[in-house]
Every structure is written in structure tokens, then in C-alpha cells.
Amino acid sequence: MHPAYSVILFTTASGAGYGLLFWLAILSVFDNLPADLTLGMAGLGLAFALISGGLLSSTAHLGRPERAWRAFSQWRTSWLSREGIAAVATFVPFGLFAFGWIMLGQNQGIFGFVALIAAAMSIITVWCTGMIYQSLPTIRAWHQPLVSPVYVALSLASGGVLALTLLRLFGHESEDFGWVVVTFLAASLLLKRVYWSFIDAAPRDRTSGTATGLGRFGRVRPLEAPHTQANFVMREMGYAIARKHAAKLRMIVQLIGFVVPFLALVLTLTAAGPLTLPLTILGLLAVMFGVALERWLFFAEAQHVVTLYYGAEAA
């Protein structure tokens, strides 16, 4: 599949934004994080910017962005519609949580309750985003049970590093939370590696013979190309990345997106001293770059079954 930069930006930015909102809500309720005005404005404002910016960027991939509102009507059958509804619904408890924290200086009590709702809605929204792809049986690499869990794990990992960076910037150090973030980074890497092993081992049993129903007569091959020049299907669905390049990019994702921030944060929790903040920022930059590259690879490695009609041996 051709990686659409608008969708990569959407899933990376909104995932980090929802993860940041989740951790700010959880920390304020269970860790008794003080309702610091500057922290609230910076943290919740950044979460809002990432979520809103990501959602808006996703419309750039639509042929008619002005008709995006129509997707909300298909919630019974479409995960895209469910994601849109969940995203909009999340703004209600998010707004109440932000109002209590920034305007009233409170993030406990009733505002702690709406914070928990916002945290839960954040996870639901990211899960729906993953289900948009997981629900497509026409793409073998996406029709896997780990797609949505990976989306949630990466959201919590990237949002966790972002939240930890903000806490340290505003003097609200939390060593316990630092170890939680480190744990989520390690768990996300493990989950992503398991996902890759699944898609590598999954049988490529869809062929032009099964697609046309003529396989019982022998090997099916196209007599000539369906089109004399590139078309939309070939550009969008027929995009392919060489296996050797995919292997290299997977290593880069693991190294930069997970190992570097993991080691940087472990150092800050053990013996960093004055380098704590620089190392935390390094970890943040690394994980955001790694997640963006992981998203690009997620699309680039996917193969649609329609390519069987354009000469692909299997899908």
C-alpha cells in the first residue's frame, strides 16, 4: 500500500496526543499530581493540539474532505465512523477535565471522575483507529489480531514519554512513572516484534487462481497487463517495498524508536544527574521518529489482494 503522509501524521500525532491525555488523567487521579496551572496549560494544550491536528490531517487523504461528516452516519458497520464518533465524544470529558484543572485549579473529585472517562475514551478511540485496518480481510498484514493492541501500546508509549518530558520540564519528577514509561516502551517493542513474526509466518495462500476461481484448472497467469499505463489502483494498492529494505527499516524502528528512548530513560532514572532533561528530550525525539517510521512501514509492507489481478504471484 502507498503510505499516505497525512494518515501517518494523523496516527502518529493523535496517538501521542491521546496517550498524553491518558497519562495526565491517570496521574492526576491516582498519583495526586498537583493542578499546576502551567503544567495543565502545556500538557492539556499539547494533547489537544496533537489530537486535533492529527484528526484534521486525516481529512487530507479524502477525495472530498468537505464530506467527511458523512462518515459519522455509518457507525453500525464502519470502524472509521466509530472512530470519528469516539474522537468527538472524547472532547466532552477532555474539555471538562481541562476546565477544572486550568480554570478552577482542581483535578480531583468530579474533575478526577471526568478525567478517568477521558482516559478511557482515549483508549477506545485509538483502538477504533487500529480496527479500521484490522477489519480489512483484503490485506493480510492488517487482518491480524495484534494490529489494534499495537496501536494502543504505541500510543501509551509515545504519550508516556511525552508526559514524562513535560513533568520534568515543570519540576514534577516522578520516578515511579518513569519506570512505568520504560516498561511500556519494552512491552511495545515486544508486541511489535510478535506482530512482525505473525505477518512473516502467515501463509500467502491467495493467488490469481483463488481470486478468479480458476485455480482448479492449473496455474492462472494474466495474458497481458490490465492497463497500458499506471492507474490509481496500481499507484495506491500496488506500492511495494523490497524485503531487504523492509528488514533494514524494521531494525531502524527498533533501534531508534524503542532502544534509544529505553536506554535514555533508564539512564535518567539511575545516574543521569544534570543530563536528565536532555536525555529525556532525546528519548522523546527518538520515539516520535520511530513511531512515524513504524507507521510508514505499516502501510508500505501491506499488500492488497487486488494486486493479484496486476501480476502478483500471491498475497
Residue 249: pLDDT band (50, 70, 90) is: very high
At residue 54, what is the residue type?
Answer: G
Residue 240: pLDDT band (50, 70, 90) is: confident
Mean pLDDT (whole number) for 263-268: 95
Q: C-alpha angle with apex 149: 117 to 204, nearest 5 degrees?
A: 150
pLDDT of residue 129: 95
Q: Which pLDDT tens digit goes with each residue over 85-116? A: 999 999 999 999 999 999 999 998 999 999 99
Q: Is the pLDDT of residue 82 over 80?
A: yes
Superfamily of domain 5-310: Formate dehydrogenase/DMSO reductase domain (1.20.1630.10)
Mean pLDDT (whole number) for 50-55: 91
Instruction: Retrieve residue 311's grid coordinates.
Output: 501480476
Domain ranges of the chain: 5-310
pLDDT of residue 65: 64
Q: Which pLDDT tens digit goes with each residue over 194-231? A: 999 999 988 877 877 777 777 788 787 777 777 777 77
Long-range Cβ pairs for the range 94-102 (8 Å, 24+): 94/21, 94/44, 94/47, 94/48, 94/118, 94/121, 97/25, 97/44, 98/40, 98/44, 98/48, 100/35, 101/28, 101/35, 101/40, 101/44, 102/37, 102/40, 102/41, 102/44
pLDDT of residue 68: 66
- Are 14 and 51 a contacting pair, CB within 8 Å? yes
Can you give the pTM of this predicted structure? 0.91
pLDDT of residue 179: 95
The angle that helices 276-300 and 5-30 make with each other, rounded to 10 degrees, is 140
Number of H helices, E strands in the chain: 11, 0
Helices (H), 219-259: 232-236, 243-254
Helices (H), 67-174: 79-98, 110-134, 147-169
